Amino acid sequence: MSTASVERGQREAWHTAYQRDGYIAVRGLLVAAEVAELLDTFMGLHAAGPIPHCFAPVRLAESGGDILKAYPRMMHPHRVNATARRYLLHPRIWEVLESCLGEEPLAAQSMFYFKPPTARGQALHQDDYYLKTKPGKCVAAWVAVDPADEENGGLAVVPGTQGLPILCPHQADPVVSFTKDEVDLPEGLTPVPIPLAPGDVLFFNGTLAHGSFPNRSRDRFRRAFICHYVPRSSTQISQWYNPLLTRDGQEVVLPHNDWGGPCGEEQDL
């Protein structure tokens, strides 16, 4: 079998699994040197201190016992850092995205989570509650920088929610979740942990309910680089995600979707 046919078969397999299940885990998509570059970049950014509109850490002594105030997530680091932008547009990630969607994606968001020991998790939620992508669903690419498992706050997804509409959230328990929203699951659906090794990438659609466990390890971070994309055919998105980027870095601005949806006037995180 030729290389081209193997690649075509792999793309078809990704597309079939993603369309069926709403998620796929692509093992080893990034190599060790790339993972190391992400780790070095973001730990360097953390050491350098606050970045306006992106990152506002406080000193540990001023955190009041909340480690996430010293290690908050970075929002849209691709807008301030060339390495983050390059990995947002990484060609191997882009190839999987195109296979899953069956069309060209647009890059909407990047984030970096440090999640040190004792950090709270994130309650179950759906990404399209925030992105408000219309008419299709967004896609997350969740890049593991550290090993991610149940002990150190790895990710769990809920099979069966990938085709559901937006579920209206309620207030999450602030003791275990650092975000405020949580969705209740339809009867019979259960979260499934997805262990990931450094360089593995989990792709999942915008209505697949997912969340993460608290980090109960003694000394292990659970760092992850997380990006969101939308289909090129999208006609609207929440205002917080403009401008979007094409594969070659050209900016695209979509009309804002200000509709509150089935749950009222959502507040984007």
pLDDT tens profile 49-104: 999 999 999 998 899 989 999 999 999 999 999 999 999 999 999 999 999 999 99
Q: What is the rounded distance in angstroms from the CA atom of residue 107 to the CA atom of residue 204?
A: 14
Closest by CA position to 237, among listed 146, 112, 109: 109
Residue range 116-125, pLDDT digits in tens? 999 999 999 9
CATH, range 31-57+105-258: 2.60.120.620
Residue position matching structure tokens 């195109």: 98
What type of residue is 94?
W
**Side chain identity at 42, as an amino acid letter?**
F
Helix and strand totals (H; E) in the chain: 6, 14
Q: What is the reported pLDDT for 98?
A: 97
pLDDT category of residue 144 using cuts at 50, 70 and 90: very high
Over 50: is that where the pLDDT of 1 sits? no
Q: Residue range 14-22: average pLDDT?
A: 96
Across residues 168-196, what is the average pLDDT? Answer: 96
Predicted confidence at residue 4, as pLDDT, reads: 54
196 near 203, Cβ under 8 Å?
no
Cα–Cα distance measured from residue 166 to residue 159, given in angstroms and rounded to the nearest whole number = 15
> Is pLDDT at 131 greater than 90 in this prediction?
yes
Residue that is written with structure tokens 């390059």 in the block: 86
The predicted pLDDT at position 20 comes to 96
Cβ atoms of 38 and 143 within 8 Å: the answer is yes
